[in-house]
Amino acid sequence: MRLLLIGAPGAGKGTQAQRIADHFGLVHISSGDLLRKHVAEDTATGRSVRAYMDRGDLVPDAVVLDMLRKPVIAAAAAGGYVLDGFPRTVEQAQQAYGVAKELGVAVQLAVFLEVPREELVSRIVARGLSSGRTDDTREVVENRLAVYEQQTSPILDYYRRRERLISVNGNRPVDEVTWSVVVQLQRARRALDKQ
């Protein structure tokens, strides 16, 4: 299976992506984690993206697409992937589709985790007390949420129109959300298998 998780900052993409990957034997690929690793290791990529991330803005598309190409191809060959944090714009979705389709590694299903704004802010501010993430402050969260609304939320329509979108209420205990996603993915996979 080749999946991606969509949701606002704090929606639980990272948490659920790992659980879904474990359940179905897939590779979890997080664009945010890979970027933070570059920053922590002070690579050229890390130095070029640090300021964008500290502000809560999106880093340039070319950086993300280059960074993800190899891991996505490797994961697809190893049985499938759960992508978390990518794509963040319709342009990223279109560009990724162009490359991935040719290689036969395009996304099959997108899972949208729906969580109300006040819950998102409270989760991130709470995590900020211990995470050490420079973008987990109340001020930066406001910008991350605005960027999500303006630049990322249009991808929901992109996948909905292609009948690839599964929506899940993410405002429940972690185990309940996982269970709901797994059940819906199993159903969707049976439908895909019949195609």
Residues that bind ligand AP5 (CB under 6 A): 7, 9-15, 31-32, 35, 52-53, 56-59, 64, 85-88, 92, 123-124, 127, 135, 144, 173-174, 177
Q: Which residue is nearest to ligand AP5 (CB)?
A: 32
How near is the Cβ of 161 to ligand AP5 at its closest, in Å? 20
Do residues 115 and 7 touch, judged by C-beta distance below 8 A?
yes
Q: Which is nearer to ligand AP5, 9 or 21 (CB)?
A: 9
d(CA 119, CA 152): 19
At closest approach, how far in Å is the CB of 45 from ligand AP5?
12
Closer by beta carbon to ligand AP5, 50 or else 189: 50
State which residue, 131 or 191, has the beta carbon closest to ligand AP5: 131
Report the nearest approach of ligand AP5 to the CB of residue 102 (Å). Answer: 20
Q: Closer to ligand AP5 by CB, 10 or 109: give it.
A: 10
